Chain A
Amino acid sequence: MHPGIIFFLVILGSVLFHIFTPWYWTDIASNWGGMDDTITLTFWVGGGVFVAVCLFMTYCVFKFSYKENRKAEYKPEDKKLEKILTWATTLGVIALLAPGLIIWNQYVTVPKNALEVDVMAWQWGWQYRLPGKDGKLGTTQVININDENPFGINLDDPYGKDDVMIQSDAINLENNRPVKILLRSVDVLHNWYVPQFRAKMDAVPGVVTFYWFEPNKTGEYEVLCAEYCGVGHYAMRGSVLVQNEQDYATWLGEQETFSDLIAKQQDLVIGDTKLAQK
């Protein structure tokens, strides 16, 4: 078989695979549809270039395969053609870069009304903290972390007392309300990633990183760790339940705050002392 035929079939197969693939992105459940759109645009432009270049190559292979008595063309340069190709490529690149940068600008600009969620990661698990009635999260420090203070909240920070603590890898979010994910890690790199939300960012020990999104579809989603974090990386999962306003409010009301936790522990201590006195 002429090799050109096989190359042609490879190109054709790639295009058909892309059209008929049963494997494509998961249904989006956040505001980042623009990312999907830019990917689609890049597919059209990039895919077009790929097909054009490869078909041209295949054509040459058919048309100009070796013949003893033919002589190849002698043409070292073609300034005009090279100029046209350079400018056409530059324009194509700008067309792809522009939407990419516009969406990135949205990605790094967090809306003012976003709910802050402290996502704390360790080898290998997650837990979450939400601001209490004051709407602010208390500051934290890694060295404060112990059984009585699982999030390492600074005890002298008044904002911290009413923080809602979710000591579980599952969290609930309110539908159609922007969330600012504040990531921190107590040991190594992690990354809180839900494929349906499209967004992600590494959690880095020593600093607090962030990203935001707005869930727009109720339902339960799996959280995956997307930055290699040691031998338990693949098992470091969690879950998110996106609920409507009412269900979310009910769920939030049932959660424990930091002061609840302190009170409970004091009760325990008092109970222990009484027991000892008896």
Chain B
Amino acid sequence: MSDEYDNNKTYQAQSSETMGGSAPASPDMDYVRPAEIPDQELYHGHSFITKWVFCQDAKVIGVQYFLTAVFTGVVGLILSWLMRLQLGFPGAAGFMTAEHYYQFVTMHGMIMVVYFLTALFLGGFGNYLIPLMVGARDMVFPYVNMISFWMFFIAVAVLMASFFVPGGPTGAGWTLYPPQTILPGTPGAGMGILLMLVSLSLFVIGFTMGGLNYLITILQARTRGMTLMRMPLTVWGIFTATVLAMLAFPALLVSAIMMTLDKILGTSFFMPTIIQAGEVLDYGGGSPILFQHLFWFFGHPEVYIVALPAFGIVSDLISVHSRKNIFGYRMMVWAIVGIGALSFFVWAHHMYVSGMNPWFGFFFATTTLIIAVPTAMKVYNWILTLWRGNIRLNTVMLWCLGFIVTFVNGGITGIFLGNVSVDVPLSDTYFVIAHFHMVMGIAPLMVIMGAVYHWFPLVSGKFLDEKLGKWHFWFTFLGAYSIYFPMHYLGFIGVPRRYFEMYDSPYMTSAVGMNEFISMAAFIVGAAQFILIYNIIKTLKVGKKAGHNPWKANSLEWLTSTVPPEHGNFGERLPVVHRWPYDFSVPGAKEDYITQTTPPSEVVHTEVEKT
């Protein structure tokens, strides 16, 4: 490899070890392998368009992803308000028909899972943080990265367009189960579903471009000294999630293509012989369950595509704000990788009562409960990181604590649903709704919010207002908890999900009050999110300046040449890494943190166990 490159450049890069002016006390002690490849050349945009619109800087692309995802999230939030209005106060909104209700349910689900959470964690945080955290100047394929965002943007535009076509958006439920998805009994079975399938396909194509970038950047563009086992857990989480995405999204893409063919050309991949309204349709021989297998082969890893980056990010936030290393780093890394691998062997736990061969139940229940073990280890390690820490109870930490409570709650209810025979009475009820909102809605949202408060000083150079942040947190945490905690009990009563109205079913009469309460809480939680938007606007105008490394963190993203970091991130010389990012409160050190770039010779009296 190395002889492809000019020798001079190699020597030049090698000499950068002596950066910072302080010559190492002992060359052996501070040894970092020489650079094998020359520094990356970047394309710098000059016009407004190339700097901010068709931009190749991963940081700008990250912010673009973030803002677009937040826009879809606000749409999803408004849809959830409309749903809760109908469920809490049936008939209160005059325009609300069953068709509309099911369209809102479907769009809310698909938007929140794919266009909001996935895009935000991988497209948003991934783009912004990966190059900064591994010490690269940018992603390895900046141009492809730019196209990736614009594919996502078009996918969102196509999705939103479906609100305005004849028949409206699809109302097939976010799982899009055939045959009903493309038959007239379902709202939006004409244009609506086609636009949904096209939008999903575009999303997968765009996302593959981004994903390849994340993977290759992490594998090939780490700075010198940044071994895999010195990477922040945020990078490990995003890396593993991206691997999952690369393997899982193709299943979604092919099922979307097959369903499009069933719809347009009348093929029968998923369509058996069907009689509708007394007429035999032109289909025959297809399997609706095949679609469910394909969908959940994507759909279950998808849960971890959202969860693993959240796991990684929250580990870093807890560590920084407890002034303590993450407990059991190696265990945490292997747990992320293990959960990622196992997530491909559990998909049919969404299908225990789907009519697949019931003997599958034994296998999938076992694999599902095995996944609980590494997940539990992660939880233990988070709380053991708090143990004997020096915990800053700031807004960031509050979001992390809120994450632990909601994630453990949602994880435990997952054990109910994964345990095949316990799932039988609970599946397709509100227990499921409560479970997955708690574990993959609220818990990752807590991490997103914590991450926003944590990294905002890096992105903008200013601190978000703490007081507003705390109000935002308590409204969101207490409100969301009082939405989803009681909702489990609706599931115990036996209330099925996706019901436009319950009429006077004997099970439901006792729960009318609870439904009203949940709806009120949902309105408040939704409204509370505008505190954040106000906080951001206010901070950008009059916020307190943050300066370099305001949280006294160790990882590279805080060690950029300027704040906010400019294009190229690290000024003239790339940083050289000498240790893991968790050297907090090291005995013998003057400060309670040692940055990753600090060579051993500068902290000679410390007793470092792991580097």
Contacts and interface: CB of A to CB of B under 8 A. Distances in A.
Contacts of A39: 416, 422, 425-426
Nearest to B389: A72
A204 interface: yes
B514 interface: yes
A42 B98 contact: no
B276 A107 contact: no
A26 B429 CA distance: 13
A107 B288 CA distance: 23
Closest 6 CB pairs of A and B: A195-B494, A206-B272, A230-B185, A100-B419, A188-B180, A209-B355
A189 B175 CA distance: 13
A107 B421 contact: yes
A104 B426 CA distance: 14
A185 to B, nearest CB: 9
B510 A23 contact: yes
B99 interface: yes
A234 B499 contact: yes
Interface in A24-82: 24-26, 32, 34-36, 38-39, 42, 46-47, 49-50, 53-54, 56-57, 60-61, 64-67, 70-78, 81-82
Contact of B408 (A42, A54, A86, A107): A54
B177 A228 contact: yes
Nearest to A222: B505
A42 B419 contact: yes
A132 interface: no
Interface in B486-528: 486, 489-490, 492-494, 496-502, 505-507, 510-511, 514
B355 A108 contact: no
B288 A227 contact: no
Interface string B267-289: 00000111110001000011111
Interface stretch (B142-150, B192-200, B241-249, B585-593): B585-593
A121 to B, nearest CB: 12
A99 B415 CA distance: 13
Contacts of B376: 49, 85, 89
Contacts of A225: 496
B409 interface: yes
B562 interface: no
Interface of B: 98-99, 102, 171-173, 177, 179-180, 183, 185-187, 272-276, 280, 285-289, 322-325, 327-331, 353-355, 358-359, 361-362, 365-366, 369-370, 372-373, 376-377, 379-380, 383-384, 386-393, 398, 401, 404-405, 408-409, 412-413, 415-416, 419-422, 424-429, 474, 478, 481, 485-486, 489-490, 492-494, 496-502, 505-507, 510-511, 514, 582, 584-587, 592, 607, 609-610
29 contacts: A10-B405, A23-B493, A35-B424, A39-B416, A49-B408, A54-B404, A54-B405, A61-B386, A61-B401, A67-B390, A72-B324, A74-B586, A74-B607, A82-B377, A85-B377, A86-B377, A97-B369, A97-B419, A123-B180, A123-B185, A187-B183, A187-B275, A204-B289, A204-B354, A206-B285, A226-B428, A227-B428, A229-B180, A230-B185
Nearest to A145: B275
A64 B391 contact: yes
A142 B419 CA distance: 35
Interface in A236-264: none
Contacts of B272: 142, 205-207
B391 A61 contact: yes
A66 B551 CA distance: 13
A98 to B, nearest CB: 10
A76 B384 CA distance: 11
A24 B607 CA distance: 56
Interface string A183-205: 10011110101011011111111
B507 A195 contact: yes
A93 B185 contact: no
A139 B425 CA distance: 30
Contacts of B391: 60-61, 64-66
Contact of A26 (B99, B187, B493, B496): B493
Contacts of B507: 26, 195, 222
Given A24-B493, A100-B419, A207-B289, 15 more contacts: A22-B510, A49-B408, A53-B383, A57-B383, A61-B386, A66-B392, A74-B584, A77-B328, A89-B372, A96-B369, A108-B359, A183-B355, A187-B185, A229-B180, A234-B501
Interface of A: 3, 6-7, 10-11, 14, 17, 21-26, 32, 34-36, 38-39, 42, 46-47, 49-50, 53-54, 56-57, 60-61, 64-67, 70-78, 81-82, 85-86, 89-90, 93, 96-97, 100-101, 103-105, 107-108, 122-124, 142-143, 145, 183, 186-189, 191, 193, 195-196, 198-207, 209, 222, 224-235
A42 B429 CA distance: 18
A143 B355 CA distance: 22
B146 to A, nearest CB: 39
Contacts of A42: 415-416, 419, 422
Contact of A231 (B102, B286, B387): B102
B451 to A, nearest CB: 19
Given A64-B387, A189-B177, A85 B99 contact: no
Contacts of B287: 206
A29 to B, nearest CB: 12
Contacts of A93: 369-370, 372-373, 415
Contact of B427 (A3, A143, A200, A224): A200
Contacts of B362: 101, 104-105
Contacts of A81: 384
Contact of B274 (A3, A47, A187, A193): A187
B412 to A, nearest CB: 4
A202 B393 contact: no
B404 A101 contact: no
B485 A100 contact: no
A42 to B, nearest CB: 5
Contacts of A205: 179, 272-274, 288
Contacts of B592: 71-72
Contacts of A38: 419, 421-422
Contacts of B429: 226
